[in-house]
Amino acid sequence: MASFVDLVFVLVVVIDLFLLASSRLGAAIRTVAIQGALLAALPLLLLRETHHLGHAILLAGGALAIKGLFIPWLMFRAIREASIRREMEPIVGFVPSMVLGAVGVALAFAFSSRLPLPDAGAHAFLVPTALSTVWAGLLLVVTRKKAVSQVLGFLVLENGVYVFGLLLSDVMPVMVEAGVLLDLFAAVFVMGIVMFHINREFSSLDTEKLSALKD
Amino acid sequence: MLFVILAPLVLAPAALAVPSNRRRPLVLLAGALLHAAGVAALFASPPPPRAGAWLAFDPMAKVTLLTTTVLFLAAAIYAQGYLARRKDRDNRVFVGGLLLLLAAMTTVALSQHLGLSWVAIEATTLASAPLIYFNHNARSLEATWKYLLICSLGIALALLGTFFLALSGAAPGGPRSLLLDDLIAAGPALSRPWVRAAFVLLLVGYGTKMGLAPLHSWKPDAYGEAPGLLGALLAGGLTNFAFLSIARVFQVTRAAGDEAFARDALVGLGLLSIALAAVFVVGQRDFKRMLAYSSVEHMGILALGIGLGGGAAGGAFFHSMNNGLTKGVLFLSAGNIHRAFGAKTTDEVRGAARRLPVSGPLFLAGFLAITGSPPFSPFFSEFAILNGAFGAGRFLVGGLFLALLAVIFVGMATTVLAVVQGDPGDAPRVPDTGDSWLTAAPPLALMVLVLLLGLFLPQGLRDLFGAAAQLVGGRWD
């Protein structure tokens, strides 16, 4: 069981690096969906005390429905309607951004060994995975031009924050977690509507066109 | 206490359900009146503080809610006139969104639970983003996209910071809670490295929302393209709540014993914001973008006030009220000028004082007030902050602050005078857009309030600012 949990964490980090290097939007959305599904399994895999079982199932179910299914479905609709397949010219190239991502992973492991964890029983990979996923998400948002890629980056960032939140699953009341998932859902929903309007206004989902406002 | 949150929250779907575009703004007015009545009732009989409650009417909540409810009421009256003239636009989303925004902002003010605060701040972003797109053109779409993406990024980092803070107190025997009182009571028992990391992330996250440099990049676009009515509520209302959230996190950091670091970070970001605003205000031809940079400046002043502490902290809370009300005057009158000329740059707009006999002079008076000219109230709050800087022996900080204020005064004066003075002559004109009671009286009333607060500050308000400043280790001199 323990090695299986290790595998999940490693896969999450590998997916971060894959996303940084991938130009095909369809594949990227599918990969984010897989990452979401993996993350949904984590609350159950990391469960230590059985009286939290109901809470863990609720969190896992919610995460799977939103991160693994609903949001990817929304994103697929967006690229189908805009008929785009690829992120053509990112601001930072695919290889450099992957290298930056890898540096982030190394730093995350180095950094988290320094931070004292109040809970000694926590999984050793949890904090570095969370921090490297947050970093990868930030990189994606900042370096990509297509609105879809930017939203995907935001999702990856939220995934990283979610992994970190698992550290607190017995401290935080359910309400706050529900609020977190709900907000993610609403954020992507509103972003989806805005993307729809960008597409209609400019006949493309390229945020390069959004550069009329400057000083 | 729940009433002030629930009243606008319940009215929002009601506004969506009203079929008539003409009658719908009345729901907004009803929401504003109910909210104002609710806040007045809270002041008349303050609910006693209860241990462990998620909502409380503390001094910081009092300062921000008082400012916001007055501003929102003025904006709601203005909206009656404004939306009646904008028959070309469906105002369903606009009215509903404003009410949701009011409910979310009120929740931020009252929340004593940092998790709940985060949810409410995220809700303010989501409620306000569609409103920036009110004009449905390419420029407002670009502004909406930037606002949504940058603020969502900031808010995601703030969530990570909130988790860090929860973790700092998660050790056995720790508070294991995100309630403000529990965290402050735990104080030094919190894990220092996590608290420091949390403060940095929360300052970056909520600082984005507040518009502190260098996280302000959405602000000129959003304020430039949004209707003046929304600009007033964002610059005068929403930013104050982000400020309040940072002040609350500062309370925890201070209790945990990391005060010096946090103060330095606030003073640094504050001065950077004022300096950056000075750079971009000079030579700014778009007067709505100019107001956005002025907002960056004043957020910097608030951060500076809290960072300096002592009498400057009391000045900062006073300034949050003055800035809120004055931004209301400026954005509402700028909105009127924008409507009347159909343009918002000094290339096309001139002689606003002749064409708009109320809004033009009000824009000028608002400019004088916001740049700290006596006898308007921002002069006194900025003076308190400056006094705090010199009193604490921070001569370099105080001197820089004063010099930058002078640069901003000159920079803004060039733009504002070009807009207000002169002969409108052949400048573009939009029919049926002159000053009316509904669009000119609300900014005028706010202006009178700013003047009165400058001439006479009631003892009750002084005590309030003092009590709020005391929470962050300051006082009211």
Q: How many domains does chain B have?
A: 1
DSSP conformation class of B234:
I
User: Could you read off the pLDDT of B425-455 as tens digits, one per residue?
Assistant: 777 788 878 888 999 999 999 999 999 999 9
Per the domain annotation, does B398 fall within a domain?
yes
Number of H helices, E strands in chain B: 20, 0
Q: How large is the average pLDDT for residues B332-338? A: 95
Per the domain annotation, does B80 fall within a domain?
no
Give how far B122 is from chain A: nearest CA, Å: 7
Exposed, middle or buried, B232 (CB in 10 Å: 0-12/13-18/19+)? Answer: buried
In angstroms, how far is CA B284 from the centroid of its own chain? 22
Query: What mean pLDDT value characterizes chain B?
Result: 93
Query: Is the peptide bond preceding residue B375 cis, with omega within 30 degrees of 0?
Result: yes
pLDDT over 90 (residue A25):
no
Per the domain annotation, does B341 fall within a domain?
yes
User: Could you read off the pLDDT of B111-124 as tens digits, one per residue?
Assistant: 999 989 999 999 99
Cα angle B264, B292, B134 (rounded to 5 degrees) comes to 130
3-state class (DSSP) for residue B477:
coil
Q: What is the pLDDT of residue A63?
A: 87
Per the domain annotation, does B58 fall within a domain?
no
3-state class (DSSP) for residue B474:
strand
Q: What is the ipTM of this complex?
A: 0.91
Instruction: Report the distance separating Cα B242 and Cα A31, nearest Å.
Output: 35
Task: Read off the pLDDT band of A1 (50, 70, 90).
Answer: low
Instruction: Report the distance separating Cα B113 and Cα B110, nearest Å.
Output: 9
Instruction: Report the distance separating Cα B327 and Cα B322, nearest Å.
Output: 8
Instruction: Report the distance separating Cα B155 and Cα B127, nearest Å.
Output: 14
Q: What is the pLDDT of residue B228?
A: 93
Per the domain annotation, does B48 fall within a domain?
no
Domain interval for residue B165: 139-471
Tokens 């008076």 appear where?
B365
User: Could you read off the pLDDT of B52-103 as tens digits, one per residue?
Assistant: 899 999 999 999 999 999 999 999 999 999 999 888 888 999 999 999 999 9
Cβ of B174 and A118 within 8 Å? yes
Q: Which residues of B touch A167 (CB under 8 A)?
A: 163, 167, 170
Cβ of B142 and A187 within 8 Å? no
Task: Read off the pLDDT band of B43 (50, 70, 90).
Answer: very high
Q: How large is the average pLDDT for residues B463-477? A: 93
Q: How large is the average pLDDT for residues B151-172? A: 88
| Chosen from A113, A139, A161 to mutate, greatest number of chain B CBs within 10 A | A161
Instruction: Report the distance separating Cα B14 and Cα B16, nearest Å.
Output: 5
Give the range among A119-133, A152-166, B28-42 with minimum mean pLDDT. A119-133
Longest CA pairwise span in chain B (Å): 74
| Chosen from B125, B152, B155, B192 to mutate, greatest number of chain A CBs within 10 A | B152
A-B contacts (CB, under 8 Å) = 122
Q: Which residues of A touch B149 (CB under 8 A)?
A: 141, 150, 154, 191
Contact A167, A127 (CB under 8 A): yes
Please name the helix (run of DSSP H) or strand (run of DSSP E) that holds residue B376, with its range, or none: none
% of chain B beyond a pLDDT of 90: 77
Instruction: Report the distance separating Cα B190 and Cα B414, nearest Å.
Output: 51
Task: Read off the pLDDT band of A114 (50, 70, 90).
Answer: confident
Query: What mean pLDDT value characterizes chain A?
Result: 83
Type of residue found at B390: F
Q: Tell which residue, B384, B60, B365, has the closest CA to residue B240.
A: B60
Cβ of B170 and A168 within 8 Å? yes
Q: How large is the average pLDDT for residues B188-192? A: 88
pLDDT over 80 (residue B299):
yes
Contact B8, B106 (CB under 8 A): yes
User: Could you read off the pLDDT of A140-186 as tens digits, one per residue?
Assistant: 988 888 888 888 898 999 999 988 888 887 666 666 676 677 777 77
Cβ of B163 and A202 within 8 Å? no
Q: What is the pLDDT of residue A173?
A: 62
Task: Read off the pLDDT band of A120 (50, 70, 90).
Answer: low
Q: What is the pLDDT of residue B174?
A: 78
Query: Is the peptide bond preceding residue B361 cis, with omega within 30 degrees of 0?
Result: no
Per the domain annotation, does B248 fall within a domain?
yes
Task: Read off the pLDDT band of A35 (50, 70, 90).
Answer: very high
Instruction: Report the distance separating Cα A147 and Cα A103, nearest Å.
Output: 25
Task: Read off the pLDDT band of B372 (50, 70, 90).
Answer: very high
Per the domain annotation, does B114 fall within a domain?
no
Q: Which residues of A touch B97 (CB under 8 A)?
A: none
Per the domain annotation, does B282 fall within a domain?
yes
Give how far B320 is from chain A: nearest CA, Å: 27
Q: How large is the average pLDDT for residues B34-51? A: 93
User: Could you read off the pLDDT of B308-321 as tens digits, one per residue?
Assistant: 999 999 999 999 99
pLDDT over 80 (residue A119):
no
More confident site: B24 or A202: B24
Cβ of B163 and A179 within 8 Å? no
Contact B57, B110 (CB under 8 A): yes
Q: What is the pLDDT of residue B206?
A: 96
